[in-house]
Amino acid sequence: MKPLLLGMALLGGISSGGAVLVPSPAQVDFGDQATGATSDPMPTTFRNTGNQAVTVTAVSAVTLAAFVRAGGTCGEPPFTVAPQASCTIEHTFTPYLVQAYCGYAHLTLAGGGRVDFGLAGEGNVAYLDIWPPSLSYFPVDVGTSSEGQTINLSNLRPVGMTVSHMYLDGPDASAFVRTGGTCPTQVPFYWGASSSCTLTYRFVPDHVGSHSASMNILGSGSFGFSLSGDGAPETPLFGDGFEAVAPTP
């Protein structure tokens, strides 16, 4: 829960004669939002709890540019709220840094006075926890395949991200073949908040000696893991190092 910036006077609204205009909630909390992404609009409802109409002559901008008015039923000022009636003003939230945001705005009433209301949210970014941090394969004969190994990738944050690229890189990338896992196979794709998926690879060496590659995942940041293994000489079928030759008919 974000801290309320406004005093208790806000909670009771502003009285103007027989009209009392009360904001609800006193502070809209957008919660966690991915940096650079715009939230869905959220409303503040202004109810006239009195017995006389109240006219609003101006609506201020929010003190932080991360919050932008995005509609609502109140319309553009001047507008009037009838006794026991209400209308809404909606805002969106677009954080640009990983931090807490708290802002406020106000309505200016005809005849003097104003009604303050607050908005709050948290800028956040997705982060992938990768386990194990690398895949390492026992030596495998050239031209044959290892058993599959699986790596787990978990987004630990309460916001998601769009993965724009996910690819193997390196001189031996073709030796590591994906054979399964729950992660999508096509990019771009959306990686949800607090979610996880898996990747399974086999090692199929194409030459004797060491092989290496790296997985690159680009989204809210750059993430990845390494893959390595050794290609062993192909094992002959007979002790003299030669395979049997089929007899000539």
Domain ranges of the chain: 8-124, 128-232
- Tell me the CATH architecture of domain 128-232: Sandwich (2.60)
For the whole model, what pTM was predicted? 0.77
Q: Is 8-124 in CATH node 3.40.50.460? A: no
CB 129 within 8 A of CB 156: yes
CA 161/CA 141 separation, integer angstroms: 40
Question: Which helix (DSSP H) or strand (DSSP E) does residue 89 occupy?
Answer: strand 86-93
pLDDT along the chain (249 residues), means of 10: 45 54 97 96 97 95 96 95 96 97 96 94 96 97 96 96 95 97 95 96 97 96 96 73 51
Half-sphere exposure of 104 (CA within 13 A, CB side): 17
Same fold, 8-124 and 128-232: yes
The pLDDT assigned to 12 comes to: 41
The pLDDT assigned to 112 comes to: 85
The pLDDT assigned to 24 comes to: 97
Residues 6+ apart with CB under 8 A from 246: none
The pLDDT assigned to 236 comes to: 65
- In Å, how far are 45, 57, 78, 110, 171 from 29, measured between CA atoms? 14, 26, 27, 28, 49
The pLDDT assigned to 76 comes to: 94
Q: Which of 112, 122, 173 has its CA nearest to residue 3?
A: 122
CA 126/CA 107 separation, integer angstroms: 36
Query: Dihedral through CA 164, CA 170, CA 173, CA 179, nearest 10?
Result: -40
The pLDDT assigned to 8 comes to: 34
Q: What single-letter amino acid sits at 229?
A: G
CB 229 within 8 A of CB 139: yes
CA 3/CA 51 separation, integer angstroms: 32
The pLDDT assigned to 59 comes to: 96
